[in-house]
Structure 1
Amino acid sequence: ERICWGCDRYCPASAMGCGNGSSRTQHPIEIFGEDWADEPAWGLDETPAQPVEVRQPAP
């Protein structure tokens, strides 16, 4: 049994429910290698987002 990356259906390897039954969706690590997330072209930013101040409307 295999599972496609990002899918919660547990299909048998011989009868995939998606992709016309031909193959499963591979995780990027299987295609690009272990350092796939280090590629700058992905646009993954390691800098955490800055908190935004939420103001309440005046009564």
Structure 2
Amino acid sequence: MAKNFPVNPKHPERICWGCDLYCPAKSLACGNGSERTMHPAEMFGEDWHVPGDWGLDAVITTDKVVDDFQSLPDDALL
């Protein structure tokens, strides 16, 4: 059974969040690199798990097909 992932832990800086081992930050056992992986709350704030505006631009959708060869000169295809 998988461990529950804490949404907002009290001291996220004390643990590496890179795998399911949750190693102490000063004793990395999994070899997940030389630095610990930060908790999402440390990077994105306490409301990291709430869906909403994450600062991403809206995706532009279109029904037009892009023709990659249209912008190339005729002799470039030889």
Bigger Rg, which one: 2
User: Considering the TM-score relative to the shorter chain, is it more than 0.5?
Assistant: no
TM-score tier (shorter): 0.3 to 0.5
Q: Give the TM-score taking structure 2 as reference length.
A: 0.33
